[in-house]
Structure 1
Amino acid sequence: MARIKPQALLLQSKKKKGPTRISATTIITCNLIIVLIVLCLVATYRHWSQRSRYQLENDLPNLVDADAVGDLNKFDLPSYAILNTSKGLITVELNKEGSPEIVDKFLDLCQKGHFKGMPFHRVIKNYVIQGGDFQRLGAAEDWTMKGKSSSQLATSLKHEAFMLGTSKGKYDGKGFELFITTAPTTDLNDKLIVFGRVIKGEDVVQEIEEVDTDEHYRPKSPIGIINVTLKREI
């Protein structure tokens, strides 16, 4: 093989190109591209963040645990309450238009767990089941006697059976009582504020109504509300 002379090697090494220099224009162009990519990512992030927040406010899960729900004022107020009782579920449609203040208080107390574990202290067949502070309920004889004396009065919507109400003037946090009527009760107009109607679970209400009670209409076996679940739609 022919040997390459030292002079030829020297000439070949001189012909080799040095490192390629990047022009200032190329550097500026690359930086601009990077900036544009970052801006696009930021804009995309903001878009999806706003969309997610909008969906959260407008597509709030239908089922809301009343004991865990946050500030209900941020969203549309629930229209339904499900009372999980020891006899089964009772679904109530809340009358937000007719009794807005009472419904607001009811929802607020649901958030605070006020009705969790509330017993039904009084069960009067063909009349009403009642839960809350027993010391505030009044004499059972007054309720039954007044109910019989006014049973011939004409009934209205709020006097129908399976209505949910609370005592007038006693719907503060401590004294908020719950009443579910089991028959037309015209005489309760002066005592109750109706703020809801049972739309599902009438059989559960009737089963509660049939429990054994003592002479003061107190259930002989404990029965009450386990918890309350709120729903926007059913």
Structure 2
Amino acid sequence: MARIKPQALLQQSKKKKGPSRISVMTILIYVLIVVVMAFFLYSSYRHWSRRSQFQMEDASLGVEHDNMFGDVKTVSIPRYAVINTSKGSITVELYNEGSPEVVKEFIDSSKKGGFKGRLFNRVIKNFVIQAGDFDRPGTTEDWTSRGKHYNHLDTSLKHEAFMLGTSKAKQDGSRFHLFITTAPIADLNEKISVFGRVVKGEEVVQEIEEVDTDEHYRPKTPIEIIGVTLKQKI
């Protein structure tokens, strides 16, 4: 048997220990796996990021997403409303327990932007300031009607100063009217449905109350509601 020379053995050893070559197909498979994993992580991040954003936005609207499929369930309605006026902001606490239907109507109108651009068209010192959607002679007496549209609501709330209410008289074609009392007026329970109380911005109410008015109690300088913001907390 022929003996293998030492130099030949050394060359064979080097060939055996040399690194094996990785095929192009293996490299492509690894790259594809990395791309798929990166896409999955990015998609998951986008989903949870958008879900978190939607929950923050829905909190102010009284709804929240229940799961990853976007199911929605109702949560507690807003407890406060900020009435932004050209004179400043008025924050009111809403009395849903005492006047649920009135509060619901107010919230619905607020979400639809129904109060944007409304004017305080009646200002009566030591009595009430009124914001409505129409302005014609005689409307000062309109809200004193003893209509019973909301007669099933709780009327135990006292009409003190800085109470928020609306007319009990439902008029054809009219929209939601706001009244804020500026003095204790105990005999208005049959005329106005109280559904809130001013908790911040009393000085703004007083500033509106002090504006100059004409013989029909209309402010000589327009005072506008810029918008209404609903909140759970203040």
TM-score range, shorter chain: 0.5 to 0.7
**d(CA) in 1 for partners of 2:172 and 2:102?**
10
Letter in 1 for 2:110: C
Partner of 2:104: 104
What is the CA-CA distance between 1:184 and the residue it aligns to? 2.1
Give 1:108-187 correspondences, 5 Å limit: 108-134=108-134, 138-140=138-140, 157-170=157-170, 174-187=174-187
C-alpha contact 1:85 1:227 (8 A) present in aligned 2: yes
Q: Provide the identity percentage.
A: 60
Partner of 1:230: 230
The CA deviation string for residues 81-106 of structure 1, in whole angstroms up to 9 with x for no partner, is: 11111111111000011112211221
What is the CA-CA distance between 1:166 and the residue it aligns to? 1.0
What is the CA-CA distance between 1:137 and the residue it aligns to? 8.7
Moved more, 194-203 or 69-78: 69-78
Letter in 2 for 1:13: Q
Partner of 1:93: 93
Letter in 2 for 1:99: S
* C-alpha RMSD over aligned residues: 4.4
**d(CA) in 2 for partners of 1:204 and 1:192?**
22
**d(CA) in 1 for partners of 2:173 and 2:96?**
19
What is the CA-CA distance between 1:157 and the residue it aligns to? 3.7
**d(CA) in 2 for partners of 1:142 and 1:10?**
116
What is the CA-CA distance between 1:134 and the residue it aligns to? 3.0
**d(CA) in 2 for partners of 1:136 and 1:209?**
20
Q: Flag as ranges the 4+ runs of structure 1 deviating above 6 A.
A: 18-21, 49-52
Partner of 1:209: 209
**d(CA) in 1 for partners of 2:132 and 2:186?**
22
What is the CA-CA distance between 1:186 and the residue it aligns to? 3.0
1:13 and 2:40 are equivalent in the alignment:
no
**d(CA) in 2 for partners of 1:89 and 1:169?**
27
Structure showing greater relative contact order (alpha-carbon pairs closer than 8 Å, 6 or more residues apart): 1
The CA deviation string for residues 1-35 of structure 1, in whole angstroms up to 9 with x for no partner, is: xxxxx9654443334317669xxxxxxxxxxxx9x
C-alpha contact 2:143 2:169 (8 A) present in aligned 1: no
Instruction: Return the TM-score normalized by structure 2.
Output: 0.66
**Larger helix percent:** 1
Letter in 2 for 1:85: T
Letter in 1 for 2:105: K
The CA deviation string for residues 52-88 of structure 1, in whole angstroms up to 9 with x for no partner, is: 958975xx47995xxxx58586443211111111111
Letter in 1 for 2:216: H
The CA deviation string for residues 90-127 of structure 1, in whole angstroms up to 9 with x for no partner, is: 11000011112211221111111111121001011111
Partner of 1:26: none
Instruction: Return the TM-score normalized by structure 1.
Output: 0.66
Q: Structure 2: which 5+ runs fail to align?
A: 22-32, 65-72, 147-155
**d(CA) in 2 for partners of 1:97 and 1:71?**
19
